[in-house]
């Protein structure tokens, strides 16, 4: 318990890496919001939200309810907020507004949302305390802010680990995944499957390799991501894995947010190594 307490309270853990992760998450939300803008204008002509009964519910869903009547106002305001978040230093209040916007964006575009939107909401929620400040004079306040920051970072990491663990455990209980049949079924998903890959999953042996590679990656991710020696290799493997899904199943938004989520596992030292390679050497 002492080690856990020291880890959470001693200092802000990986502030540079965490800030890059958060800014990237905001950039992803901004792109998604702008792409959904014209689509949701059409969707809202046929699908409107019901007003929550409770006062807290009405307040929390106010932006989405505003979009029922004035979708352009909602999307313009959301765009402005996300642009501000990209420019200014993370602050808890602004981070909270970020979560507020992502949740309401999900509600507004619910008929056309997918798993990537849920991941975005979860990560934006855990990111609320990711506001790093060195100039905190009060010792008690610094301990609280440091603990919240480190807990937010850990919860973002745990969220990704849980996603893979649940998915892997679900697959290992499925006969279609154990036998490789799941990949043969992929070709029948006409609304998702990329026709350029027709015939790729016709080989049962290859399907078995694909299936068990997916299972092992998802089940081992939780163990390998914490180890210094295997952290970067598993991140590279995951990036290739999601790029494969992106191309074959035409799911760019889900693949992209999962790849971006790996940034929360990087450390400041990783970025320093990259900078040192490109930094000119003094004579």
- The string of pLDDT tens digits covering residues 163-216 is 999 999 998 998 888 888 888 887 777 667 777 777 778 888 888 888 999 999
> Which has more confidence, 250 or 145?
145
Q: Two tokens at 11? A: 């200092």
Alpha carbon separation from 113 to 32, 36, 103, 187, 249 (Å, rounded): 11, 10, 11, 22, 16
Task: Label residue 12 by pLDDT band (50, 70, 90).
Answer: confident
- The confidence score (pLDDT) of residue 252 equals 85
Residue 141 confidence (pLDDT):
80
Rounded mean pLDDT of 62-66?
A: 87
Mean pLDDT of the chain: 87
Lowest mean pLDDT among 12-16, 111-115, 273-277: 273-277
Range in 12-26, 54-68, 219-233 the model is least confident about: 54-68
- Is residue 244 predicted with pLDDT exceeding 70? yes
Asked if residue 10 has pLDDT above 90, the reply is: no
Please report the pLDDT score of residue 55 as a whole number: 84
Tokens of 124: 């934006």
What confidence score (pLDDT) does residue 26 get?
Answer: 96
For residue 36, pLDDT beyond 70: yes
Domain boundaries, the chain: 2-277
Is residue 281 pLDDT above 70, yes or no? no
Identity of the highest mean pLDDT range in 69-73, 123-127, 175-179, 269-273 = 123-127
Q: By percentage, how much of the chain surpasses pLDDT 90?
A: 46
pLDDT at 136: 64
Residue 219 has a pLDDT of 92
Please tell me the distance from the alpha carbon of residue 90 to that of residue 153, in angstroms, as a whole number: 14
Distance set, CA 95 to CA 39, 92, 155, 233, 280 (Å): 26, 5, 15, 31, 36
Contact criterion met (CB below 8 Å) for 271 and 23: no
Question: What distance in Å separates the CA atoms of residue 262 and residue 62, rounded to the nearest whole number?
Answer: 32
Contacts of 128 (CB under 8 A, 6+ apart): 92, 95, 96, 98, 99, 152
- Look at 69-73, 147-151, 236-240, 269-273 and tell me which has the smallest mean pLDDT: 269-273
Confidence of residue 225 (pLDDT cuts 50, 70, 90): very high
pLDDT bin (cut points 50, 70, 90) of residue 132 is: confident
Residue 151 is predicted with a pLDDT of 93
User: 137 falls in which pLDDT band (50, 70, 90)?
Assistant: low
At residue 283 the predicted structure's pLDDT band, cuts being 50, 70 and 90, is very low
- Please state the rounded mean pLDDT for residues 130-145: 76
C-alpha span between 113 and 232 (Å, rounded): 31
For the full predicted model, state whether its pTM sits above 0.85.
Answer: yes
CB 156 within 8 A of CB 185: no
């Amino acid at each position: 318990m002492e080690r856990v307490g020291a880890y959470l309270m001693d200092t802000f853990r990986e502030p540079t890496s965490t800030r890059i992760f958060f800014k990237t998450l905001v950039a992803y939300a901004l792109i998604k919001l702008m792409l959904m803008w014209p689509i949701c204008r059409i969707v809202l002509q046929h699908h409107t939200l019901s007003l929550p009964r409770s006062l807290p519910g009405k307040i929390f869903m106010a932006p989405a309810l505003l979009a029922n009547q004035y979708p352009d106002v909602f999307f313009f305001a959301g765009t402005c907020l996300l642009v501000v978040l990209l420019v200014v230093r993370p602050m808890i209040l602004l981070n909270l507004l970020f979560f507020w916007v992502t949740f309401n964006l999900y509600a507004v575009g619910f008929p056309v949302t997918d798993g990537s939107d849920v991941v975005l909401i979860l990560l934006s929620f855990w990111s609320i305390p990711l506001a790093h400040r060195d100039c905190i004079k009060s010792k008690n306040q610094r301990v609280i802010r440091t603990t919240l920051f480190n807990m937010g970072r850990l919860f973002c990491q745990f969220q990704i680990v849980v996603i893979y663990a649940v998915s892997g455990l679900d697959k290992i209980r499925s006969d279609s995944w154990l036998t490789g049949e799941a990949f043969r079924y992929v070709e029948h998903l006409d609304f998702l499957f990329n026709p350029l890959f027709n015939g790729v999953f016709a080989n049962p042996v290859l399907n078995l390799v694909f299936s068990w590679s997916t299972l092992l990656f998802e089940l081992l991710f939780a163990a390998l991501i914490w180890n210094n020696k295997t952290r970067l290799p598993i991140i590279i493997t995951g990036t290739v894995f999601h790029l494969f899904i992106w191309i074959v199943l035409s799911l760019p938004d889900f693949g992209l947010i999962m790849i971006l989520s790996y940034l929360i596992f990087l450390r400041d030292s990783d970025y320093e190594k990259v900078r040192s390679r490109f930094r000119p050497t003094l004579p």
